[in-house]
């Protein structure tokens, strides 16, 4: 039987609960139906909204060019036949019983549970007025209200969220300073050479970027007045955005017995050590055959695409033979479209393949041992599509190490 049509009859599964109603949760429901599962799907989400797309929250939604309706992930003609429990938090998971207990006091028991609770933005202890994180549509609405022309914004963190917010804020006429702890903005992601290009791009739009600084505290009593650096230096601000990373939303799994030290630890297909319990999306740390350990990938495309692998694993009990594409991410900032594809372990060699640093149409390729492993482009959409294609082909030829543990296939339906 092919894994594409391993439906309810083959797996013995009658019900699946998906905890988390964002990109990975929605993709899980779609994959279940696409692969022939016709049992009950219960979708639990802590936000009141049906699944929506988060990347625009720091871009066109923040500047007011997109509405919440534009962000909906569900298509008009989508018939997922899902039981929605929204605006409700999951408090705990009993793995042997596959029982999810909710903040409302009710609980949901099912044959399988897919954990898709995502991640939460890191915060400071003092989140006074004017201090923001950006994760939800409500966060974006609150931040937009503070981004008035002439306001002084300080962004703590020079990662994707921080830089995209900086870009959107400049477009709204706000004075922006980015304070990053790394050598250059995004240098931990791209390496110094490419990151220096990112900095020039931000500065070309009037963003002040400072590197190698640590924001220690926000200042102000009722409302923020600035931030203090680890050196003691104070910087005035009317608005502060914290873009200082995220942590997996796994607090509710503390008593579950699952390994959640670095996200929910899974095999290569998203299955945890507990039968019938899988994890996908930002909260999941899948075994990575190249790194040789569980690794959390927090990229949009992985959250969208990996659930179909987990669902195939769940429905067939076998490990689907489908290679994962190299990670892909994009970032729109300061009028430039940055795209990245591949996998970096550090120490790769970089070469310019097209365009140039000065012309804003740079395409660089990272090589390890002479083989291309990743590419990054600035306004190089067409070439990047070609590089993604060739990187996928080369990734498929990488054989995993012989020591990869393969989870036991399910010999009988869950709960049997």
CA 328/CA 159 separation, integer angstroms: 16
CB of 53 to other proteins, least distance (A): 5
Q: Which of residues 304 and 313 has its CB atom nearest to other proteins in the complex?
A: 304
CB of 114 to other proteins, least distance (A): 17
Please provide the size of the chain in residues.
Answer: 416
Which pair of tokens denotes residue 296?
């959390």
CB of 46 to other proteins, least distance (A): 20
Q: Which of residues 94 and 332 has its CB atom nearest to other proteins in the complex?
A: 332
By the criterion CB under 8 A, which residues form the site for other proteins? 23, 26-27, 30, 53, 65-66, 70, 72-76, 300-301, 304-305, 328, 330, 337, 381-382, 384-386, 388-389
CA 117/CA 297 separation, integer angstroms: 14
CA 362/CA 379 separation, integer angstroms: 7
Report the half-sphere exposure of 260 (CA within 13 A, side-chain side): 24
Assign 114 to helix, strand or coil: strand
Strand-by-strand arrangement of the 264-265 sheet: 264-265, 284-288, 293-296
Q: Which of residues 24 and 90 has its CB atom nearest to other proteins in the complex?
A: 24
* Bridge partners, residue 234, by sequence: 228
Q: Which of residues 130 and 377 has its CB atom nearest to other proteins in the complex?
A: 377
Which pair of tokens denotes residue 345?
């372990």
Q: Which of residues 53 and 288 has its CB atom nearest to other proteins in the complex?
A: 53
Determine whether 80 is exposed, middle or buried from the number of CB atoms within 10 Å of its CB (0-12, 13-18, 19+): middle
Q: Which of residues 23 and 284 has its CB atom nearest to other proteins in the complex?
A: 23
Q: Are 140 and 132 spatial neighbours (Cβ–Cβ below 8 Å)?
A: no
CB of 172 to other proteins, least distance (A): 17
């Amino acid at each position: 039987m092919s894994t594409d049509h391993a439906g309810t009859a083959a797996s013995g599964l009658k019900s699946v609960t998906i905890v988390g109603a964002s990109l990975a949760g929605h993709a899980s429901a779609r994959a279940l139906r696409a692969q022939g599962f016709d049992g009950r799907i219960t979708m639990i989400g802590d936000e009141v909204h049906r699944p929506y797309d988060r990347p625009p929250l720091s871009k066109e939604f923040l500047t007011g060019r997109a509405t919440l309706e534009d962000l909906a992930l569900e298509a008009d003609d989508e018939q997922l036949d899902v039981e929605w429990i929204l605006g409700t938090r999951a408090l705990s998971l009993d793995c042997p019983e596959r029982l999810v207990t909710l903040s409302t006091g009710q609980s949901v028991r099912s044959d399988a549970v897919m954990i898709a609770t995502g991640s939460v933005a890191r915060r400071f202890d003092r989140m006074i007025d004017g201090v923001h994180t950006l994760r939800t549509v409500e966060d974006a609405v609150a931040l937009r209200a503070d981004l008035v022309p002439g306001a002084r914004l300080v962004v703590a963190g020079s990662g994707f969220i921080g830089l995209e917010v900086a870009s959107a804020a400049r477009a709204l006429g706000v004075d922006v300073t980015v304070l990053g702890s790394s050598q250059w903005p995004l240098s931990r992601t791209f390496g110094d050479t490419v990151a220096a290009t990112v900095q020039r791009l931000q500065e070309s739009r009037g963003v002040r970027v400072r590197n190698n600084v640590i924001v220690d505290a926000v200042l102000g009593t009722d409302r923020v007045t600035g931030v203090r650096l680890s050196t003691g230096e104070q910087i005035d601000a009317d608005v502060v955005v914290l873009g200082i990373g995220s942590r997996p939303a796994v607090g509710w799994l503390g008593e579950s017995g699952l390994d959640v030290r670095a996200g929910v630890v899974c095999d290569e297909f998203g299955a945890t050590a507990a039968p019938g319990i899988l994890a996908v999306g930002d909260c999941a740390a899948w075994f990575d055959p190249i790194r040789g350990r569980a690794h959390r990938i927090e990229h949009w495309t992985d959250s969208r695409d990996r659930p179909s692998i987990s669902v195939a694993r769940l429905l067939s009990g076998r490990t689907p033979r489908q290679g994962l594409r190299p990670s892909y991410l994009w970032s729109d900032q300061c009028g430039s479209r940055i795209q990245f594809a591949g996998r970096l372990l550090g120490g790769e060699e970089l070469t310019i393949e097209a365009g140039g640093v000065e012309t804003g149409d740079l395409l660089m390729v990272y090589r390890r041992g002479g083989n291309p492993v990743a590419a990054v482009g600035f306004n190089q959409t067409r070439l990047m599509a070609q590089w993604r294609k060739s990187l996928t082909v080369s990734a498929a030829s990488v054989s995993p190490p012989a020591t990869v543990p393969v989870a036991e296939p399910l010999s009988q339906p869950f709960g049997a």
